[in-house]
Amino acid sequence: MKQIVLFKGRIQTLDYKIDRFVGYLEKNGIDHYIVNTNDASTYCCEAFDKFILQPGCVMFTFNDIGINLSVGENENLWKKLGIPVFTFIVDHPRNYYDELLEPKCDLNVICCDKDHVEFIEKFYPKVKKAFFVPQGGTEVDSSIPIKERPIDVLYMGSNQAFSGFPLIDFMDDSGKDFYSYCVKHLFEKPEDTVESAIDKWLETRSGTLSDENVLRLYLDYAGSVAAYVRREFKLLCMHALDDAGIKVEIYGGDSWIDKDNPFSDNIKIHDRIPIRELLKISGQAKISLCFIPWFKRGCSEKNFDSMLNGALCVTDRSEYLNENYKDGESIIFFDLNDPDQMAERVKGLLANPDEMESIARRGYATAKNNDRWDLRYDHLYKLLSGEK
C-alpha cells in the first residue's frame, strides 16, 4: 500500500473532496497525512518530515495546491525526495499554465474531461502523465419524494463574471475578428470546444501567425471566449425559465444578477453556501438544472450530486453523460441553443410529478452504481499505486 500526503486549505469545495478521500482512505486502512496550507504546523513539523520520507510516499492534491512546496534555496521538495505528485484539476488546464508548462516536480495530472487530457499532451509535454477521471457525486438525502419537495428548480453554483476580452497585441485589430469568429461559432455550435473554434479560425488564416502566437491563443485568450459564451448561454436559459413562469432557486450569489435584463420574482438568487449545506438543499429540489462548464467529453460533479440526492437532473450534453445516461429515462438533456424548448420541457415535467419521480429514481440508481465519489477514489488510489 502507498502512503499518501494530501493537501487542503484553499477552497472549501476542494477541501470537501479531500475530506471525502480521507474517509475512503480511513475506511480502507490506507496510511495518509493531511497538510492544511492555512496551518504551517501541519507541514513544518517532525511528523510531516517523517511521513514523506517513507518509501512509496506519493502526494495528492486538487488544483495544484502544494505542488510547489520548496526547501532550501527554492528547491522543490517533491523533486528532491523523488516523490510522485498527482494533481486533480477540476477546470480547464489552461488555467494552470505556470505549473504545467514547466513543472518543478514529477507531475501527473488527473482531468475530468478527455479533451483536457489531450490538451495537456499537446501543450504541456513536460507533464509526466495525464489521466481521465470524471468527478463524482455525494449522497446526503434522497429520501423525499419528488411531489413533496418544496423547490421546483434548483441551480447550484455561480455564473462567472465576464470582464471583457483582453486586447491581443500581435493582431492589427487587437483580436476583434478572432473573438467575433470564435463566439459566433460557439453560439452556432455549442457542442464544440473553444479549441475547435480556434482551430477553425486558424484554418482561415493559415500561416499568418507564428507558432508562439498560435500557442498564446490557446493558453492566454481562449479563456475569455469560454467565459463569455458560458455566461451568455446560462443567462439565456435562466431567462427562458423566467419567461415561462418557472420558479428557480439559485445558490450562486451576485454573479447571477443581470443588470441589463433583470429577472422577475420567479428567479430567487441566494448567496453561495458551503457545499455540505447545498447538498442538503439538493435533496429538497424536484429538478436540478446543470450547465457543464464547457466540458464536452467529461462532466461536472453537480450532475451526480443532483441525481444522488433524488433530484431530476436537467442538463446540457457531454460525451460521458451520453454514454452512461439516456434522455427521458434517467436524465433530461437539453440543447444550449434552444433555451425555450428547455423551459417548456421543464414546465411539462413539473406538471407531471410521477414522470419526474420515475426518471429521477433511474438517474439515482445509475449514479449510485457508477458515479459516486467513493468509486472515483477507488480509481484514484489505483492510479496513485501505479495500477492500470
pLDDT tens-place string over residues 105-162: 999 999 999 999 999 999 999 999 999 999 999 999 999 999 999 999 999 999 988 8
Q: What is the CATH number of domain 146-163+228-371?
A: 3.40.50.2000
309-363 per-position pLDDT tens digit? 999 999 999 999 999 999 999 999 999 999 999 999 999 999 999 999 999 999 9
pLDDT at 388 over 70: no
Q: How far is CA 189 from CA 81, 116, 291, 298, in A?
A: 48, 19, 16, 18
Provide the whole-model pTM: 0.94
Could you give the strand order of the β-sheet that contains 57-62, starting from the edge strand earlier in sequence? Answer: 32-36, 3-8, 57-62, 85-89, 107-111, 129-132
Phi first, then psi, for residue 253 (nearest 5°) are 75, -165
Residue 110 in 3-state DSSP?
Answer: strand
pLDDT at 386: 87
In terms of CATH architecture, what is 3-136+375-384?
3-Layer(aba) Sandwich (3.40)
226 and 194 in contact (C-beta within 8 Å)? Answer: yes
Q: State percent of the chain over pLDDT 90.
A: 94
Q: How confident is the model at residue 1 (pLDDT cuts 50, 70, 90)?
A: low
110 and 96 in contact (C-beta within 8 Å)? Answer: no
In 3D, which of 16, 1, 105 has the Cα closest to residue 55? 1
61 and 30 in contact (C-beta within 8 Å)? Answer: no
Cell output for 106? 514529477
Cell output for 21? 478521500
